[in-house]
Chain A
């Protein structure tokens, strides 16, 4: 066995813990490239990112919630609501576009604020509460849309968002990156972001430090609703029409991306950068399965296996780094 100095090992483990997902992504990319030239073409890679945009934008908000030790299962319902709502509000006219976008974002934020209010002031389990909200939102979506796909998008809406800048980078991917940058700025550079980590790590300490827990909770769930609304708009831009259950199940995709990126249920760990990495790994892996010639359904099996394998690896790395950080006896 190669002998490595303990400090170097500790450093290596820490790098793995922080940036492991990007190493995995790089590895996957290399494997993909040897299997098919398609993965070397920027347009194809961008396509891959484009597919993941709605889930990715939504995952940014949910990651913030998870850092604070919460969970938001209502985002799938919010995506469904906002996608169909945006289409109905646009009603095929371009002058309706700004109003539709603003109202849609407002609706998502309101649903998030509803979650946040109830969780902040009653301190109930966010798991069940957001599940209940999801059921209500699905019902409201059905009532609002009459139970079928409805609404017509404004002319130019899809074209603008799917337009490839310089023939390569779609506008939506730029928006995803901007949203991620915005989220990373919140999590790293603001008091609010640091409060999230503290609340997730040690809520009692956060309370003793005189943090306004209810306010932070309210804001973070509202943000999650807002990002889910943006995800819904992105989904509409990709599909052009929206049914009433389009977002169903995407809360689990969002969770998978966040957990792959190193954000845990216990809170206090991970971040948006990792989530984006997890998102890309998931997208790339599923594409790879497709390329090998397995059906869409086999992708589900691979997705499940990746989720379990990745979180096992994280847990292992976390444990070994924890044991390394103990003072030597």
Chain B
């Protein structure tokens, strides 16, 4: 009861403000700009889904949408993990190669045997957890820029993969293949998987004390420290989350590829960072949105799919993708003062 009475005046005030906005078009424009900045990626996604549906009959097919999710599932999971890292004002460049290592390791453990599925998944999670923990530990102890630390780790992991094998090894088990490519009642298995992971991640980031601390440390590390937050104990789990997300993404990718391809993860780290930033999480930290990240992954996936349907070459697709990244960053990014 008291909640409603409290909410009402606030609503009235907001309505009055909006009325004022109509009177002053400048204010209205600013508000429109802010609205576009906050929800731009969702508008782009809706436009990308609706407009082509008018011309392309394939687009009215819901199955096509499921396929796009299936193709983008690994990136989506990876980007969800990276959202925590970037919201905490850090960067994890090692996730791509980590995912590659997990694909290779789990496939060579499985060798296509059905009974090896559970051990392979456990191995994947263990590797992700361990590498994430090492990243977090070193980040806290060495106090060097996370970009440089994880760049070093990228090189180390890539070396480790190729020392182990320089060609595809092993094979995914039937169950893992089903995770990557299978459907349940017409819905790709990855759809509920991504949704569950995203929901858990959103709860963790927006509704828990840990999530709050992640954002506070990202916004102002020194301030967080002075407010009594143990910064190291926030950053360590963030890197572990990132590592575990790479493990889940690695299993999905292993299912999609069916074999342990050593270059499987190359370049994924940059795609994940692009998706997170397009989604509205600024590189300057302090804020994060899992839903935005998901929308951005879908925008990238839908664009590729659309250009495919239009018969564009892979080369033109790259140019378009780059242009989208630049356009989105121009619209979305908060302005960084100074700094070349």
Cβ of B156 and Cβ of A300 under 8 Å apart? yes
**Contact between B315 and A308 (Cβ–Cβ < 8 Å)?**
no
Contact partner of B340 among A68, A132, A308, CB < 8 A? A68
Query: Does the CB pair A135–B340 fall under 8 Å?
Result: no
B-facing mask of A291-329, CB < 8 A → 1, else 0?
A: 000010111111111111001100100000000000000
- Assess whether B330 is in contact with A118, with CB atoms less than 8 Å apart: yes
Residues of B within 8 A of A267 (CB): 339-340
Which chain A residues border B148 with CB–CB below 8 Å?
Answer: 255, 259, 265, 307-308, 311
Inside 8 A of A283's CB, which chain B residues have their CB? none
Query: A124-B333, A265-B147, A308-B148 in contact; A131/B142 too (CB < 8 A)?
Result: no
A264 and B148 alpha carbons, distance in the complex (Å)? 10
For B277, list chain A residues within 8 Å (CB).
Answer: 125, 128
- A126 and B156 form a contact (CB under 8 A): no
CB distance from B283 to the nearest CB of A (A): 5
Interchain CB contact under 8 A, A132 and B325: yes
Give the Cβ gap from A320 to chain B, nearest Cβ, in Å.
Answer: 13
Q: Is there a chain A Cβ closer than 8 Å to B158's Cβ?
A: yes
A119 touches B153 (CB 8 A): no
Is A133's CB within 8 Å of the partner chain B? Answer: yes
Q: Mark A98-123, 1 if CB is under 8 A from B, else 0.
A: 00000000000000000000111011
Task: Tell yes or no: A203 within 8 A of B by CB.
Answer: yes
Count of chain A to chain B residue pairs whose CB atoms are closer than 8 Å in the complex: 179
Given A68-B340, A213-B340, check contact A142 B159 (CB 8 Å): no
Interface flag for A97 (CB, 8 Å): no
Q: What residue of chain B has the Cβ atom nearest to residue A249's Cβ?
A: B266
**Chain A residues whose C-beta falls within 8 Å of the C-beta of B274 in the assembled complex:** 128, 131-132
Q: How far is the CA of A300 from the CA of B148 in the complex (A)?
A: 15
Closest residue of chain B to A69 (Cβ to Cβ) is B339
CB within 8 Å for A304 and B145 given contacts A70-B340, A129-B329, A203-B337: no
Kindly supply a per-residue 1/0 record for chain B positions 140-162, scoring 1 wherever the CB is within 8 Å of any chain A CB and 0 otherwise: 00111101110111111111111
Asked if A140 is at the interface (CB within 8 A of a chain B CB), the reply is: yes
Residue of B nearest to A307 (CB): B152
Q: Nearest residue in B to A114 (C-beta to C-beta)? A: B326
B278-298: contact bitstring with A at CB < 8 Å (1 yes, 0 no)? Answer: 000011100000000000000
Contact status of A207 and B323, CB under 8 A, knowing A300-B155, A304-B153, A307-B155: no
Residue of B with least CB distance to A135? B322
Chain A residues closer than 8 Å to B330, beta-carbon distance:
118, 122, 124
Docked CA distance A266–B335 (Å):
17
Instruction: Type the 1/0 row for B305-323, where 1 means its CB is closer than 8 Å to any CB of A.
Output: 0000000011111111111
Q: What CA separation (Å) do A131 and B322 show in the bound complex? A: 8
Inter-subunit contact B329/A133 (CB<8 Å)? no
Tell whether B175 is near chain A: CB-to-CB under 8 Å: no
Partner among A122, A127, A255, A299 whose Cβ is within 8 Å of the Cβ of B151: A255
CB distance B336 to A301 under 8 Å? no
Report the minimum CB–CB distance from B268 to chain A (whole Å): 13
**B338 touches A (CB below 8 Å):** yes
Q: Which of B155, B157, B319 contacts A140 (CB 8 A)?
A: B319
Does A246 lie at the interface of the complex (its beta carbon under 8 Å from any beta carbon of B)? no
- A264 surroundings in chain B (CB, below 8 A): 145
User: Which residues of the other chain, A, contact B338 by a CB distance below 8 angstroms?
Assistant: 69, 123, 199, 203-204, 206-207, 213
Q: CB-CB < 8 A to A227: which residues of B?
A: none
1/0 per residue, CB under 8 A from B, across A189-212: the answer is: 000000010011001101100000
- Which among B142, B156, B313, B339 has the highest number of chain A CB atoms within 10 Å? B339
State the CA gap A223–B155 with chains docked (Å). 28
Closest B residue to A266 by CB, please name it: B145
* Known A-B contacts A127-B283, A129-B329, A301-B163; A308 and B138 likewise in contact (beta carbons under 8 Å): yes
Query: Inside 8 A of A207's CB, which chain B residues have their CB?
Result: 338
B326 engages A129 (CB within 8 Å): yes
Are B340 and A126 in contact, CB atoms less than 8 angstroms apart?
A: yes
List which A198-257 residues lie within 8 A (CB) of chain B.
Answer: 199-200, 203-204, 206-207, 213, 216-217, 220-221, 252, 255-256
A-B contact pairs, 12 of them (CB 8 A): A118-B326, A127-B283, A131-B273, A139-B318, A265-B148, A301-B160, A302-B159, A304-B151, A304-B155, A304-B156, A306-B152, A307-B151
Interface residues of A (CB under 8 A from B): 65, 68-70, 118-120, 122-129, 131-140, 142-143, 147, 196, 199-200, 203-204, 206-207, 213, 216-217, 220-221, 252, 255-256, 259, 264-267, 295, 297-308, 311-312, 315
Given contacts A200-B340, A213-B338, A252-B155, 10 further A-B contacts (CB under 8 A): A123-B335, A124-B335, A132-B325, A139-B318, A139-B322, A265-B147, A303-B155, A304-B157, A305-B156, A315-B142
B residues contacting A by CB (< 8 A) are 138, 142-145, 147-149, 151-163, 166, 270, 273-274, 277, 282-284, 313-326, 329-330, 333, 335-340
